[in-house]
Amino acid sequence: QVQLQESGPGLVKPSQTLSLTCTVSGGSISSGSYYWSWIRQPAGKGLEWIGRIYTSGSTNYNPSLKSRVTISVDTSKNQFSLKLSSVTAADTAVYYCAREGYYMDVWGKGTTVTVSS
Amino acid sequence: EIVMTQSPATLSVSPGERATLSCRASQSVSSNLAWYQQKPGQAPRLLIYGASTRATGIPARFSGSGSGTEFTLTISSLQSEDFAVYYCQQYNNWPMYSFGQGTKLEIK
């Protein structure tokens, strides 16, 4: 079955850009009518949806993060990626990627990103 | 923005008993509501979508109900593996989503 795996630096300096990649295995990112989302969760807190992408390249972002977020897709590599610019300590969280068909039915295990100098 | 409010924040229940978790939307979300279970150190797992449809592989002791603004997740007979945090999520306002703040289900 489809599996997702996040990868990227675990430590990012303040004001820099956080970059993560989600690799999809066990199926094609282009198959089915799915969107591909990023969600984050600060330690001990709830879930925050960041944004999504369709394989056509169309995107939607959380308005609270929209000015700093870019999500892209590389269908040839079966991957999609997240960039979050001008990070601060408030962006420290576990970042999850997920497959979405309105609800998230497949999740990656998550990767912890700490923003610190 | 649709605000999802879950209650209680923490629920203490004994194994074998029934647990009832609530989720309220600030405006109607029809039946476009999902429930997730999250255990420590793990990603959330989809339990229920469409307010009442169990996801693949989810045991029958999990059931969801409600529509509009009031929703309930019921676990009929708690097993040890059910103690976790549960989140509701509305997708009626697509492309925007919102999650509840979570209910922690703990062993009494």
Dihedral, CA of residue A59, residue A62, residue A68 and residue A73, to nearest 10? -30
* CA distances (Å), origin A47, targets A94, B33, B75, B92: 10, 15, 22, 17
Residue whose pair of structure tokens reads 């059931």 in the numeric block: B63
B11's enclosing H/E stretch is: strand B10-13
**In chain A, whose CA is at the least distance from the CA of B103?**
A46
Among A103, A107, A109, the residue with its CB nearest the CB of B91 is A103
Chain-chain contact of A96 with B44 (C-beta, under 8 angstroms): yes
What does the pLDDT read at residue B56? 95
Among A46, A60, A107, the residue with its CB nearest the CB of B43 is A107
Chain-chain contact of A49 with B94 (C-beta, under 8 angstroms): no
What is the three-class DSSP state of A90?
Answer: helix
What does the pLDDT read at residue B18? 97
What does the pLDDT read at residue B43? 98
Percent of chain B with pLDDT over 90: 93
What does the pLDDT read at residue A84? 98
Model confidence at B85: pLDDT above 90: yes
What does the pLDDT read at residue B94? 87
What does the pLDDT read at residue A32? 79
pLDDT in tens, B93-102: 989 889 999 9
Model confidence at B106: pLDDT above 90: yes
For chain A of 117 residues, list the mean pLDDT of each consecutive stretch of 10: 96 98 95 93 96 94 96 96 98 98 95 97
What does the pLDDT read at residue B38? 98
B46 vs A contacts (CB less than 8 Å): 103-105
B43 vs A contacts (CB less than 8 Å): 96, 107-110
Chain-chain contact of A49 with B99 (C-beta, under 8 angstroms): yes
What does the pLDDT read at residue A33? 87
